[in-house]
Structure 1
Amino acid sequence: MSGNEHILVVDDDAEVRDLLIEYLAKQGFVVTPAESAACARDVLDTRAVDLVVLDLQMPGEDGLSFARDLRRRSGVAIVMLTASGDTIDRVVGLEVGADDYVAKPFDPREFLARIRSVLRRTRRESAAEPVVDGRTVRFGRCLFDLEARRLYALDGSEVPITAMQLELLEAFANNPNRVLSRDRLLDLAHKRGSDPFDRSIDIRVARLRQKIEPNPEKPQAIRTVHGIGYVFVPSGQGPSAEG
C-alpha cells in the first residue's frame, strides 16, 4: 500500500509538517499540508483525501472541534497527533470519531505502521459495504438500511432523519441511476399525486444532502438534473449529471 493514497497533514507546527511531509512522501504517499482547520477545509472541498493526520492542539479551532465537524461531514480516516500522556484528549478524540492516535514525540516507523493499518481497515470496510444490490445502500458519507429503514454514519452512529427524508432515500435507493422528476419524487415520497409546480422537493433534497453529502455544495450521491429533477448515483457508477 502506498502511491495513490492522499494524506492531509494538519498541524500548526511547520517543523512537524515538514517532517511528516518528507517522511510520508518517501513512502510513496501524496501529501498535502495545512496549517489550520480552515486551510484543511479548503483542501477537503477541492480534493479527495484518504486520511487526515490531525494535531489536536492548534490555535483557533482546535483539532477536537475540527475532528467532530469532519466526522459529521465525511467518512475520511483520521489519525490524531496528541501530546505525550494527554489521555483525556486521546479518549475524547476517539469518541468523536478518530480512527487512531499517535503521541508526540513519535517513532516514524510506528507512525507509518498506524497510518497503513488505518488505511487497510478503512479500505476493507469500504469494500465490504453493499451498494444497491444488497439491503444496505451507500449514500455519500452514510449507509441506508432498507430493512430497518434507518440511516447510519460510516462510524455506525445513527443519523436522525424525518419521515419525508426516509421516503426520499427509499425512492432513490430503488431507482439508482434513474432521473426522477420532482413530480415523481413527490409521488413516491408521499404515495399520492402532487402539484406539478411544487418546488418544495428542492428544499427537502437540499436538507437531505446536508446529512449525506461530504460537501453539500458539490453533491455526488444525489445530483441535480437541471430542468428535470434528481438522480441517485451510487459510488463509482452511473451517468454524469450536474450538481
Structure 2
Amino acid sequence: MQTLPQTLTIAIVEDDVDLAEELVFYLQYQGMVVSFFENGQQLDAWLLDNHCDVLILDLNLPHEDGLSIAKRLSTRDDLRIIMLTARAMPADRIAGFDCGADVYLHKPVNFTELVAVIRRLAKRLPETALQHWKLQTTNAFLISPSNDKIKLTTKENKFLQLLSAGESHYLTRVELETNLWGTSDIHTAHRLELLVSRLRHKLKATNTDVIQTYWRAGYGLTIYLK
C-alpha cells in the first residue's frame, strides 16, 4: 500500500480570495502545507523552487485559464490535479478531464469531501514524488533525498524523532518542551524557538522547509521521514 508523507504539499490557484483563504485555513488545519496563487504566472514562479503533490485549480482565471494550466502541467507524473469550478455542465467536465484533471469538483465544495479526494489522489503519487528523508538516530544525521548529510545536536535529533513518531500531524509546544527538557515554561519556550531556528538554518542549503510552524499550536514535518 502506498505510504503518505507526513504532510502533503498543496497549491491552490483561485482568484476568489475569500474562498482561497477558507481553503488554505481548512487544509492547513488538516496538516497540509498550502500555498495560494491568483493566477498561473504566480504558480509557475513558485514551482521553479518548490514541489507540489496536489494542485487545486479554478477554471476562470486571469491571463491563462485553468484548462490551459492543467494541460501544461498534466505531463508531470509527480502531480495530481483537482479542478474546482462553478462550471458544472457535462461539456466543461469533459474538457477538464481532457486537459489532464484527475478529479472535477464544482462549487460550492464540501471541504470534508475535498480532503478525502486529496488523500486518495496522494496515494496514487509515485514513490519518487514523495520526499523521503532518513534520520540516523544513532549517529545523529539527517539525510536528504539528494544524500546531503546534516549533522544534528542531541536535542535536534530528539526533536525530529518526536515529530516523526507523532500520531498527529504535529506536536504542541508543550508536548515538545516537556519531552525535550522535562518541563514547559517561558524558558523552555524560548529554547524551543532557538532550536527550531538553528535547525532551519542548517537545512537552508537543501532548499526544503522541513519544519512547519502551526501558529500558536506547535510544529510538524513537511517531509516523509523514516
Q: Tell me the TM-score normalized by structure 1.
A: 0.48
* 1:5 shift after superposition: 1.2
Select which of 88, 98, 102 maps to 2:101: 98
Larger Rg over CA atoms: 1
Q: Superposition pairs for residues 150-169 of structure 1, below 5 Å?
A: none
CA RMSD of aligned residues (A): 2.2
How much does 1:121 deviate?
Answer: 2.1
Note if 1:41 corresponds to 2:44.
yes
Residue 117 (structure 1) aligns with: 120
Letter in 2 for 1:24: L
Give the C-alpha shift of residue 90 in structure 1. Answer: 1.6
Give the counterpart of 1:80 among 83, 94, 103.
Answer: 83
Q: Deviations over 1:49-75 (max 9, x none)?
A: 111100111122000011111124564
Tell me, in whole angstroms, the C-alpha distance in 2 between the residues paired with 1:124 and 1:48: 14
Residue 122 of structure 1: how far off its partner (Å): 2.3
Give yes or no for contact 2:14–2:39 (8 Å, CA) kept in 1.
yes
Q: Does 1:9 align with 2:12?
A: yes
- Secondary structure of the equivalent of 1:53? strand
Alignment length, in residue pairs?
A: 127
Deviation at 1:119, TM superposition (A): 0.9
Q: Which has the higher contact order (CA 8 A, sep 6+)?
A: 2
Which ranges in structure 2 are unaligned for 5 or more consecutive residues? 131-226
Give % identity: 35
Cα separation, 2, equivalents of 1:16 and 1:58: 14
Q: Which amino acid aligns with 1:103?
A: H
Distance in 1, Cα, partners of 2:126 & 2:112:
21
CA distance in 2, matches of 1:63, 1:88: 15
**Residue 57 (1) aligns with residue 60 (2):** yes
Kept in 1, the 8 Å contact 2:58–2:83? The answer is yes
Q: Which residue of 1 aligns with 2:133?
A: none
Partner SS, residue 97 of structure 1: coil
Q: Which runs of 4+ in 1 moved over 3 A?
A: 72-75, 123-127
- 1:109 Cα offset (Å): 0.9
Determine if contact 1:84/1:103 at 8 Å carries over to the other structure.
yes
Return the alpha-carbon distance in structure 1 between the equivalents of residues 126 and 77 of structure 2. 15
C-alpha separation between the residues in 2 aligned to 1:24 and 1:51? 12
Letter in 1 for 2:24: I
Q: 1:77 to 1:116 in 2, by over 3 A?
A: same
Give 1:222-233 correspondences, 5 Å limit.
none
- Decide whether aligned partners of structure 1 residues 125 and 98 sit closer, same or farther in structure 2, where only a CA change above 3 A counts: farther
Q: Deviations over 1:14-40 (max 9, x none)?
A: 011101100000000000111100001
Residue number in structure 1 paired with 2:206: none
1:61 aligned counterpart, secondary structure = coil
